[in-house]
Amino acid sequence: MTVSRVVNGATNVRSETRERVAAAIAALDYAPNLAARSLASAGDVRLALLYANPSAAYLSAFLLGSLDQATRINAQLVVVPCADADDIAQAAARLARAGVDGVILPAPLCDNVEIQALVADAGLPAVAVASGAPPPSLAAVGIDDFAAAHDMTAHLVEQGHRRIGFIAGNPDQTASARRFAGYREALAAAGIAVDDGLVAPGLYSYRSGAIATERLLALPERPSAIFASNDDMAAACVAAAHRLGLDVPRDLSVVGFDDTALASEIWPELTTIRQPIADMARTAIDLLVALIRDRRAGQGDAVPEHRILPFALIRRGSDGVA
């Protein structure tokens, strides 16, 4: 998905994604003919945002932050899709044609070694966003996924829950392992053994969340709470519970991760971990511009910065006492 496809009215964009991107563009009064495109001064930069995240809600927040900061610093932002192997294979040519000065790699591309190698071979500075284990060669921004998942699990334990299901994230993303580790350690700290039967695989997609929830709720002794590794899967969990006639949170507590717009668009509204997605995007652009300017000043050997932003546990209506 590219910003230009939405701006130019292309038909091959899902309606949900189109609406979210359009909302982000409208919020910034964004126009395709930004003065920044002229790159009039030596300080102007052209940045590439590679994208492969399946969540429209995550995209909306990340795009909003990216466009906002790019506009503030008078930079052009080029959005390049990398959703499959063909996109990745063509990415180098697209970056070369765009003449970009640096690359932003949001999840899941922040953990894609093929993309990292492609960017390195092109000699471009890059910033990884939301990686659970960013390589030292890249600048990075994210949150402490382990601590965030630990805090959410501990919150459920404090509510009296002992059978807490967990829907894992995409195994190809390092943040997924960090979130699972936080869940596991919080249970251990409370003297609760991890039950592998209460852990279901997920892919950060709504469909994978629905499948995982059906599996967990089919157990002979179902969980009293489910912690989904992102809001899309948590929303699917709430819907699946409703289809089975369960009341959320009376019969089942459900919590998520990210605090995207989706968290407050479903009923009941989600208790979730607020990951400052838009702020991470803004910070990524700042870090990338700093790297580019360092290179222009002959200081390209500076150690890339890894910055951790604060998270917050947002209590809404989807969780309650066991």
Residues 264 and 183 in one domain: yes
Q: Are residues 153 and 269 in the same domain?
A: yes
Higher pLDDT, 37 or 284: 284
Domain count, the chain: 3
Look at residue 316 and tell me if it is in a domain.
Answer: no
On whether both 271 and 287 belong to a single domain, the answer is no
Q: Residue 222: give the domain boundaries.
A: 145-275
Per-residue model confidence (pLDDT) at position 21 = 57
- What one-character-per-residue DSSP string does 225-237 give? EEEESSHHHHHHH
Same domain, 133 and 150: no
If asked whether residues 218 and 300 sit together in one domain, one would say no
Please give the average per-residue pLDDT across 297-304, as a whole number: 77
Find the mean pLDDT for residues 189-217.
98
How high is the pLDDT of residue 60? 86
| Average pLDDT over every residue of 283-288 | 96
Residues 6+ apart with CB under 8 A from 13: 1, 5, 6, 21
- 220 and 166, same domain (yes or no): yes
Q: pLDDT confidence of 35, banded at 50, 70, 90?
A: very low
The stretch 85-111 carries a mean pLDDT of 85
Same domain? 153 vs 271: yes
Q: Are 68 and 28 within 8 A, CB to CB?
A: yes
53, pLDDT greater than 90? no
Residue the block writes with tokens 């991760």: 257
Indicate the pLDDT class of residue 34, thresholds 50, 70 and 90: very low
| Residues 157 and 257 placed together within one structural domain of the fold | yes
What CATH number does the domain containing 288 carry? 3.40.50.2300
Residue 314: inside a domain: no
Out of 29-33, 101-105, 252-256, 272-276, which region has the weakest mean confidence (pLDDT)? 29-33
76-81: strand order across its sheet: 76-81, 46-51, 102-105, 126-129, 139-142, 306-308
Calpha distance 111→144 (Å, rounded): 16
Query: Which of the four pLDDT bands, split at 50, 70 and 90, describes residue 222?
Result: very high
Q: What is the mean pLDDT of the chain?
A: 88
Please check whether residue 176 is in contact with residue 111, taking contact to mean a CB–CB distance below 8 angstroms: no
On whether residue 40 sits in a domain, the answer given is no
- Claim to verify: residue 58 and residue 101 sit in the same structural domain: yes
Q: Are 256 and 263 within 8 A, CB to CB?
A: yes
In a domain, 39, yes or no: no
What is the value of pTM for the model shown?
0.85
